[in-house]
Chains A and B, each alone.
Chain A
Amino acid sequence: MAGPDGRAVISCTGVRLDRGERTVLSDLDLTLSERRIGVIGANGSGKSSFARLLNGLLLPSRGNVTVDGLDTRKDAKGVRRKVGFLFQNPDNQIVYPTVGEDLAFGLKGRKLPKAEIAARVEATLQRFSLDGFGDRLVHELSGGERQMVALAGVMILDPDWLVLDEPTTLLDRRNTRRIMAAIEALDQNVILVTHDLRLLESFDRVVVFEAGRVIADAAPAEAIPAYLRLVE
């Protein structure tokens, strides 16, 4: 469940990320262990790539990323079990035609018995206020409901960490509140990449990216004004 010292920790040491000729991230040295961490930065600042480094969807060109002691380069599968990932657009994240089938998707890959999969799907539907949605067709749901299904599809796998890449960008205020309330209620450590600074006011820590580097890393009261000074 946690690193060698008993704490859940993601660490980046000497990380640099190149894509083709371009350097997307450089000089990244971070130790993440707070329960609620926000990541902000302008478009193209490298924050989405940073999020994808944390669960091994991207591998660093130099340096290491480790999650509770597991290196993303050596054990991508183990890392993905620990780190759940929610994308901006639920349409590209939901794989199966019905809600119930989609929630079962990740569990099937783990070769669990059918009865247990069904029970966990049912429990997860309840937990995310999706009671009775099991047989509903995904494409008939609203955008907010779809994002909730995508979140449930990640959380049913019971990760230790949840990384969210702008999960509320496509949502209205009310659905944003619903998704954020569901996220607030999680026991897991959360890393939220967002443009919506208000969401981060109650967070423990905020990391600010600019041109592929960390330019501020502090409590929200300090980091958010630093970001605003930068962009305004």
Chain B
Amino acid sequence: MITGLYRAGNSRLHRAGAGRKLLALILGGTLLLAISSLPLAALGLLIALALYGLAGFGPRVLWTQLRPIVFVLAVLFLAQLWLATPAEAVLVVLRFAALVLAAGLVTLTTRTSDLVAAIERGLSPLSRFGLDVAKVSLAISLAIRFIPAIGQIAGEVREAQLARGRRPSPLTLVVPVIVRLLKMADEITDAIDARS
């Protein structure tokens, strides 16, 4: 099924608690966005790079984090260069590189299950306002459980349509899959209620 983006390791960052890493990320990110300072942004990027080293990740891992935003960053850089000053343009790029790297680092060094547990802990104070944390974690588990199942259903629907001699279009694929999901939902509901 889906493997998370976590990369196993035994660095101090890997061992640090998920909640603390998230908190540090939120504080650092807010600081970086709140203060428009070129030296601070550069320092932020340096810290992020140093932390990758500490976690034992090389340039290739760094690049996989940055690759998805390179195009958008280039466009932003050019827009800033044209509309504002070169300093502003550099600031935007440094900021985003630092932020994306730092956030990615939390993902790389924290297991999905630990992050889910941190979310549940973070939500538990809200139970006073009627939020049922057990239901939230049930929803998370169910979604993870059924992602591969939906791929399988889509495959079956596709085969059935091919067997009847028509090439499935997005629409003839998506509608039967959804109708099957809705029917499945009733049975899953019964099964959960039967066991609780």
Contacts and interface: CB of A to CB of B under 8 A. Distances in A.
A223 interface: no
A139 B141 contact: no
Interface stretch (A10-18, A87-95, A192-200): A87-95
Given A87-B187, A91-B149, A96-B145, A106 B1 contact: no
Interface stretch (B28-36, B55-63, B188-196): B188-196
Given A109-B196, A138-B145, A92 B184 contact: yes
A66 interface: no
Give the interface centre of A84, A92, A109 by most chain B CB atoms within 10 Å.
A92
6 contacts: A57-B194, A80-B193, A97-B141, A139-B1, A139-B145, A154-B195
A97 B149 CA distance: 11
A188 to B, nearest CB: 15
Interface string A97-118: 1000100011011000000000
A97 B196 contact: no
Given A95-B138, A97-B141, A106 B188 contact: no
Interface residues of B, number: 20
A38 interface: no
B194 A84 contact: yes
Interface in B144-196: 144-145, 148-149, 152, 184, 187-188, 190-196
Contact of B191 (A95, A101, A138, A140): A95
A85 interface: yes
A157 interface: yes
A52 B1 contact: no
A176 to B, nearest CB: 21
A80 B1 CA distance: 32
Contacts of B195: 80, 84-85, 105-106, 109, 153-154, 157
Contacts of A101: 141
B126 interface: no
A140 B67 CA distance: 32
